[in-house]
Structure 1
Amino acid sequence: MRAASKLISSTHPSLHLSHPTPDSFTWNTLIRAHTRSVARPSLSVYLRMRLHAVLPDLRTFPFLLQSFASPSNLQSGKRTHAHILRSGFASDAFVQTSLINMYSTCGCLDSAHQVFGEIPLPDLPSWNSIISANVKSGFVGVARHMFDEMPQRNVISWSCMIDGYVRSGDCKEALALFRDMQLLEVEEVRPNEYTMSSVLSACGRLGALEHGKWVHAYIDKCGMEVDVVLGTSLIDMYAKCGSVERARQVFTELGWKKDVMAWSAMISGLAMHGHGKECLDLFSRMQDQWVRPNAVTFLAVLCACVHAGLVSKGMEYFEMMREEFGITPTIQHYGSIVDLYGRAGLIEKAWDVVKSMPMKPDVLIWGALLSGSRMHGDVEMCEFSIKQLIELEPNNSGAYVLLSNVYAKMGRWEDVRYVRDLMEAKGIRKVPGCSMVEVGGILHEFFVGDESHPETREIYQMLEEIMKKLKLAGYVGNTREVLLDLDEEGKELALSLHSEKLAIAFSFIKTRPGTPIRIVKNLRICVDCHVAIKLISRVFNREIVVRDCNRFHHFRYGLCSCKDYW
């Protein structure tokens, strides 16, 4: 007690024991103010409050619990929970909700569920808190089960669940839930800016431009202000859906409201579309307007340099980030530099970067090194990188497939079979190539050799017609891309059934001549499909936009925006 009194008098002379004792309102105000301060934690204020024999009230603990925001605070949170029980406030709804939030934030979901289970009749905020706790912990299925059991819901309930689906990658379900939300037409569940931001994120991830345009129109119809948060979401959505023109328009309309995130979103959008010069020019404009770039901005700038093959420029920005702006590079920044050198064929320099990194290389780093060494035929570095990938993630199907592909390109079919047998023995399955296309506001998915679509017969007939015209125009299938031990005829057939070709054939059936086609692919586009789609864009006079796992490819008049560098 003496030590505590000494601490109080030395740090806060105004709170010395000889001075008048403030009431609980003043102490609560101090605790609340200190929840936002790292230097003077609110817990120390609470302990001083107790030393002054001031009893906590219903507001004290909710304010105090807000300050426990990481797993390292869990023990302090538990001790505060014990104080709550002794103080007799454990049955207060506001305190219970705050406890659920605290345990969730500290990574103790079981305790959050225990608190919720002890509430006889949970109110709406308590339901929302436990659903949010499950979403944050990645248990979206559990969250949905509880969401369906809720006696009532508000906009927070719906928005949290929609955001949960987006975070887990189930964007189709997020959009389906948003449609259900709209059908209610109840004031309490009217979508707000947070809801729309999550929905726009879902559209962007799916590459669903028509959905995204409709959401934008809905925002305008509801009279929502397109502030910097919604504006940044719109820029990101349009860029990811392949419409960089609309992204530019939203960016311009934001005017003076643009912050670093809006600038970064636009720079990133230009980078992924291969507009390297415009991207770097915009970065210069950003600095001219006294907007300080952050780590995200520099990641986008480095990405632009990677796609444009600007090695020396990329290194300039990397040094600028560290020396001029004092930003410590993350593993993503180092990954970009490894990728930058690797794509340029400077494998030794890429390897030097890996060895000099202050952190242990992860899957991103080894993948970047692998990509460059594969592109430039460095088999030894390929094998080494793949083995590091497998060591980090023993069940990573992509690593095994890549190793098999390396052996196949070398004609080492015995080694190919060994890797495939190993995958089978471990129960590891290859991620199938999947392409998605939006036609008439409906998303259609196609897999390699897919026959599940209701119009499969018509799709294959159209594909056959397309391939015939391509061959007349000089197309020859790049059978080196088929990494199976088949004869030439079998390899050509396998090439023709790649998912993006099926998606294009379907789009030809469903859209009028000249209509642009936008495809989202889960894997990197192969060399043969890249050649074929360039030719399709010329022979059929179609603009075709393909977003693969690396970047956007805009095919027009027989050319691609990537200039065959991807």
Structure 2
Amino acid sequence: MKRFSTLLSPTRKARTPLDSDYPLLSLVDSCKSMAHIKQAQAHLIITGLILHSFPASKLIIKLFALPIPSSLSYAHQLFDQIPSPNLFLYNTLIKAYEPTAHSSHNSLLLFRSMLRNSSPCPNRYTFVFVFHSCNYGLGISEGEQVRVQAVKRGLDTNVFVANVLIRMYANQGFVDDARKVFDWSLERDLFSWNSMIGGYVRAADLGQARELFDEMPERDVVSWSTIIAGYVQVGFFMEAMELFCKMQLAGIVPNEFTLASVLAACASLVALDQGRWIHVYIEKARINMNERLLASLIDMYAKCGDIDLAFRVFCDENNPKRTVWPWNAMISGLAMHGRSKEAINLFERMKIVNVAPDRITFVALLNACSHGRLVDEGRLYFKLMRSIHGIEPGLEHYGCMGDLLGRAGLLKEAEEMITSMPMAPDTVIWGALLGACRIHGDMEMGRRVGKFIRDSEPNHVGCHVLLANMYSESRRFNDAKDLRDRIEIAGVKKTPGCSSIELGGTFHQFLVGDRSHPQTKLIYSFLDEMAIKLKIAGYVPETREVMLDLDEEEKETALLRHSERLAIAFGLINTAPGTLIRIVKNLRVCGDCHQVTKFISKVYSREIIVRDRMRFHHFKDGLCSCKDYW
């Protein structure tokens, strides 16, 4: 075939399609490959119909339908040879360039071409498509230039144009500018309200988002899903659950996005009963089980302590596992439950079925190695993530390796790795090493690491308290007191230990030494009785966990008031014999509470699952799933 420039020379004139040309036009409709397209194009060139906008547009649209990367550039070449492309052709090609960030600049070039030629004149659809390109592939400065042209033509107040402007500003982080467009809009629809609420949610401004949500004249599933996701995003899980209940009362049917957010709230609250109800709802309502929803369901069961059910959901052949999300959720769940070998086996199986791992996969995998004391395996996977999978280790991966080496007692190697990182280590990484120094009794390195943290982030109270605890364990009570005094003078407060238990759909929270619960007298009486039974069974309090200069009896009393013991006592009092008890604690379980919970599981014949800040502990028959390594 000759080049376009030869066949479409200025001497050729476009002609109006005749009835006799309809078979040729239907030939265009039947094209299913690039070869067919070129044959049809040749016929249109020979007949001169290629210069008419209607047949040319049919050919270009057919090109867009082909799943071939080169079809878009070929369509653009064809477009450039049309003497006077109409508005429909311009808009079609501009829209075709929208989805890809690397080619969105072509939308802007086409738009500028329209302005230079003064014909055709852009309409509201043109501006909608160009603003989309500015949103997803270009930037705010290009969007501002295009907006000037919309204002000149009086189209900036059109509801469709205003909506995409709101979305553009909100997505780029200019929420105040988005709100100005929203406030100036003469007409608003659901999309306007949802886009503005979504902008506030993305900026984590839940106050403004909720205020706007409450003002909405009507709400749809997107409105509810957006505000629920916002509350989950900032950690207001109870509020998210309450909104979900209100959504159902309003008669709005949740979709897979709503349910994924609610499952995340259930996971954080360890609300297993609500999570199970949502699982049943998904099946009965035949909600589309996409991979993100499946990952949320697996994550919920894992974080609520039922790792076996999480694995059954994952293994269900009816559930899709073509992408990395469900695999990450399952590997992460196995890691936090200390089932490290199973997590590694699942990763190897993932490679066999050709699901490519990502950065999150390796965080979960390295965590599994850390919880299972699999040092050699951790070193190997850390090396392979770059050499085989092309993933450059980030701060989170170095943090996992520091934790892995520190837990295993390889403190010097951990410190060397941290100091040689290609990026500056944060206090989380140094804090993990400080915790390892405490576990393995390396006071010298602990002082050095603690000083570094104190100098770099003076208000990081957790690490300072950890260092003070190390002083206390070494019976250096004066040094511990001096450090605690400095913390108090600085006005920063340590996060108090808090444990919660769900019973009958209601959450009961206990702080250390808590006496605010309605059953306080019964709980403390039960604890006194429990202490006697446990001592008879051989339990000896680890009073070194009390970081104060007290006598042994006072230390034992202090240990008795730890929040997880209050929660466990409440659970034992209010559930039938043999019932499994699930506890969530916001901090790491101390050594004595870990020891006493093993005895409780044996003396009271109960299985107790405790989720602390680090991992899950499954206590049964006097043993823990962590094998005392956490």
Of 49, 67, 72, which aligns to 2:114? 49
Give me the whole-angstrom Cα distance separating, in 1, the residues matched to 2:145 and 2:444.
56
Q: Name the CA shift for 1:37/1:70 in 2 (closer, same or farther; >3 Å).
A: closer
Q: Which residue of 1 aligns with 2:272?
A: 209
Of 223, 239, 259, which aligns to 1:196? 259
AA aligned to 2:233 is R
2:152 paired with 1:86: yes
Q: Which residue of 1 aligns with 2:515?
A: 451
Contact 2:363-2:396 at 8 Å conserved across structures: yes
Structure 2 residue matching 1:370: 3-state secondary structure: helix
Matches within 5 A, 1:304-319: 304-319=368-383
Q: Over alpha carbons, which structure has the higher Rg?
A: 2
Matches within 5 A, 1:332-481: 332-481=396-545
Structure 1 residue matching 2:583: 3-state secondary structure: strand
Q: Which moved more, 1:410-419 or 1:510-519?
A: 410-419
AA aligned to 2:311 is R
2:247 paired with 1:184: no
Q: Which residue of 1 aligns with 2:308?
A: 245
Contact 1:434-1:523 at 8 Å conserved across structures: yes
Q: Which residue of 2 aligns with 1:264?
A: 328
Give me the whole-angstrom Cα distance separating, in 2, the residues matched to 1:200 and 1:77.
37
AA aligned to 1:50 is L
Q: Which residue of 2 aligns with 1:6?
A: none
Give me the whole-angstrom Cα distance separating, in 2, the residues matched to 1:225 and 1:512.
38
2:370 paired with 1:298: no
Give me the whole-angstrom Cα distance separating, in 2, the residues matched to 1:409 and 1:70.
56
Tell me how far 1:283 sits from its aligned partner: 1.3
Give me the whole-angstrom Cα distance separating, in 2, the residues matched to 1:61 and 1:52.
17
Give me the whole-angstrom Cα distance separating, in 2, the residues matched to 1:142 and 1:156.
17
Give me the whole-angstrom Cα distance separating, in 2, the residues matched to 1:250 and 1:198.
18
Work out the number of aligned pairs and report it.
Answer: 554
TM-score (normalised: structure 2): 0.84
Give the percent of matched residue pairs that are identical in Structure 1 and Structure 2. Answer: 49
Tell me how far 1:261 sits from its aligned partner: 1.3
Q: Which residue of 2 aligns with 1:3?
A: none
CA deviation profile, 1:356-380 (whole Å, cap 9, x unmatched): 2111112332122222222112223
Structure 2 residue matching 1:436: 3-state secondary structure: strand
Q: Which residue of 1 aligns with 2:618?
A: 554
Q: Which residue of 2 aligns with 1:151?
A: 217
AA aligned to 2:219 is R
Structure 2 residue matching 1:125: 3-state secondary structure: helix
Tell me how far 1:94 sits from its aligned partner: 1.8
2:231 paired with 1:165: yes
CA deviation profile, 1:377-397 (whole Å, cap 9, x unmatched): 222332333344445544332
AA aligned to 1:355 is T
Q: Name the CA shift for 1:233/1:256 in 2 (closer, same or farther; >3 Å).
A: closer
Q: Which moved more, 1:527-536 or 1:41-50?
A: 41-50
Q: Which residue of 1 aligns with 2:601?
A: 537
Q: Name the CA shift for 1:120/1:41 in 2 (closer, same or farther; >3 Å).
A: closer
Give ranges in structure 2 of 5+ residues lacking alignment: 1-72
Contact 2:103-2:137 at 8 Å conserved across structures: no
Contact 1:341-1:349 at 8 Å conserved across structures: yes
Contact 2:435-2:466 at 8 Å conserved across structures: no
Q: Which residue of 1 aligns with 2:281?
A: 218
Give ranges in structure 1 of 5+ residues lacking alignment: 1-9
Cα root mean square deviation, aligned: 2.1
AA aligned to 1:34 is Y
Structure 1 residue matching 2:316: 3-state secondary structure: helix
Give me the whole-angstrom Cα distance separating, in 1, the residues matched to 2:137 and 2:76.
33
Q: Name the CA shift for 1:46/1:408 in 2 (closer, same or farther; >3 Å).
A: farther
Contact 2:159-2:187 at 8 Å conserved across structures: no
Structure 1 residue matching 2:422: 3-state secondary structure: coil
Q: Name the CA shift for 1:126/1:386 in 2 (closer, same or farther; >3 Å).
A: farther
Contact 2:157-2:186 at 8 Å conserved across structures: no
Q: Which residue of 2 aligns with 1:521?
A: 585
Contact 2:469-2:480 at 8 Å conserved across structures: yes
Structure 2 residue matching 1:40: 3-state secondary structure: helix
Tell me how far 1:443 sits from its aligned partner: 1.4
Contact 1:545-1:555 at 8 Å conserved across structures: yes
Q: Name the CA shift for 1:367/1:61 in 2 (closer, same or farther; >3 Å).
A: farther
